[in-house]
């Protein structure tokens, strides 16, 4: 895609997201939202501001929320970790602690929902190998692997993601920009299925992406924040751990703290993080710190995180002490997701002349 085409399509997605936000306000019950995380480690404050808080907002606005723990996506490039069960229950604890309500939302793991996974087969028949290979994430993985070690699961994972989304007829998927091509493939699969098997009476809704409005937070080292880079503050970290993690954060040598994202990205990132926690602006935080330098900035960021997440952490600690309750919440969510996916698979079989 040329830069201009890419910019145009991003703009179109942003405009579409604004329209969708207005519709959500008016008719929340018309939306079923699916969002998900890979269980590769603890959720961190970047996830919170980038997407978790938005899920709670949507839930509280009255949309139907499904939260997927994408455990098959965690094994696209590595063996399943022995501590996966602990990571998964910790994710459930994070979800509940931040305000996802298991009475209203469905939390499930896609490995536990058999009819969802079965949809991968018919969906694979609707896309070409070349099309999957053009998906930017897949393409990057293939390019980076060089020696050809990309797994078949990695290669097909955008199709699996389509099965996640379409198995439950989600019509809205909150996304960052990098996930837009996956959603486009899901839309293609839905359209082709409808054209082939239900012409004139579409069965699968084409889901919309809801682009995140959150500003992008970097990790404490100024690089992309990531669970695996060890540059993030887990939601469930203790106040002391938070102070220690922030103490190692990158800043620069100027004592006067100013918000200049282009010129001072590491400093700007800590200001942004502090501002998000304090519901303030990075400029106001910078003015407060004045000539305190990097040490004062890091202390301010740690304090802001500790204040903002104090109540969430109290809830999280109580939940973590009840692993059997967390497993029950997940089992109940798995059952609900399976009931929905079962109905979808049954209809798909009928429509595909696979009902004998």
The footprint of ligand TRP (CB under 6 A) covers 34-38, 68, 70, 73, 161, 164-165, 173
**66 or 302: CB nearest ligand TRP:** 66
**37 or 208: CB nearest ligand TRP:** 37
State the Cα–Cα distance between residues 91 and 69, nearest whole angstrom: 8
State the Cα–Cα distance between residues 36 and 316, nearest whole angstrom: 19
State the Cα–Cα distance between residues 15 and 160, nearest whole angstrom: 27
The residue number whose beta carbon is nearest to ligand TRP equals 36
Residue with tokens 């590491």: 266
Structure token digits, residue 280: 């303030």
**112 or 251: CB nearest ligand TRP:** 112
Q: How far is the CB of 234 from ligand TRP (least distance, A)?
A: 17
32 - beta bridge partners? 64
Q: How far is the CB of 173 from ligand TRP (least distance, A)?
A: 5
Q: How far is the CB of 256 from ligand TRP (least distance, A)?
A: 38
Pair 320, 43: CB distance under 8 Å? no
Pair 13, 180: CB distance under 8 Å? yes
Q: How far is the CB of 113 from ligand TRP (least distance, A)?
A: 12
Would you call 78 exposed, middle or buried from its count of C-beta atoms within 10 A (0-12, 13-18, 19+)?
A: exposed
**34 or 233: CB nearest ligand TRP:** 34
**285 or 338: CB nearest ligand TRP:** 338
The dihedral sign for the CA sequence 153, 155, 156, 162: positive
Q: How far is the CB of 200 from ligand TRP (least distance, A)?
A: 28
């Amino acid at each position: 895609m040329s830069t201009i085409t890419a910019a145009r399509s991003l703009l179109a997605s942003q405009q579409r997201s604004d329209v969708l936000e207005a519709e959500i306000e008016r008719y929340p019950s018309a939306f079923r939202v699916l969002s998900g995380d890979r269980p590769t480690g603890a959720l961190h404050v970047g996830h919170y501001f980038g997407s978790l808080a938005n899920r709670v907002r949507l839930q509280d606005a009255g949309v139907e929320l499904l939260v997927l723990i994408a455990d098959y996506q965690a094994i696209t490039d590595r063996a399943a970790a022995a501590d996966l069960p602990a990571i998964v229950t910790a994710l459930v604890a994070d979800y509940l602690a931040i305000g996802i309500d298991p009475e209203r939302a469905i939390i499930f793991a896609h490995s536990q929902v058999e009819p969802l996974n079965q949809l991968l087969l018919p969906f694979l028949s609707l896309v070409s190998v070349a099309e999957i290979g053009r998906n930017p994430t897949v393409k990057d993985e293939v390019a980076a692997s060089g020696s050809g070690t990309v797994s078949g699961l990695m290669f097909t994972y955008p199709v699996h993601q389509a099965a996640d989304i379409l198995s439950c007829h989600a019509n809205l998927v909150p996304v960052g920009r990098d996930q837009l091509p996956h959603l486009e493939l899901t839309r293609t699969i839905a359209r082709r299925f409808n054209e082939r098997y239900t012409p004139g009476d579409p069965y699968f809704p084409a889901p919309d992406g809801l682009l995140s409005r959150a500003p992008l937070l970097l990790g404490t080292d100024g690089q992309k924040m990531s669970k695996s880079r060890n540059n993030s503050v887990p939601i469930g970290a203790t106040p002391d751990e938070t102070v220690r993690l922030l103490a190692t954060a990158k800043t620069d040598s100027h004592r006067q703290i100013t918000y200049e994202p282009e010129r001072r990205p590491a400093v700007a990132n800590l200001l942004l993080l502090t501002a998000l926690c304090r519901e303030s602006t990075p400029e106001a935080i910078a003015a407060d710190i004045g000539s305190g330098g990097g040490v004062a900035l890091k202390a301010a960021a740690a304090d802001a995180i500790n204040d903002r997440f104090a109540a969430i952490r109290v809830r999280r600690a109580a939940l973590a002490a009840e692993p059997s309750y967390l497993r029950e919440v997940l089992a109940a969510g798995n059952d609900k997701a399976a009931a929905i996916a079962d109905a979808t698979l049954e209809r798909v079989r009928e429509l595909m002349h696979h009902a004998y």
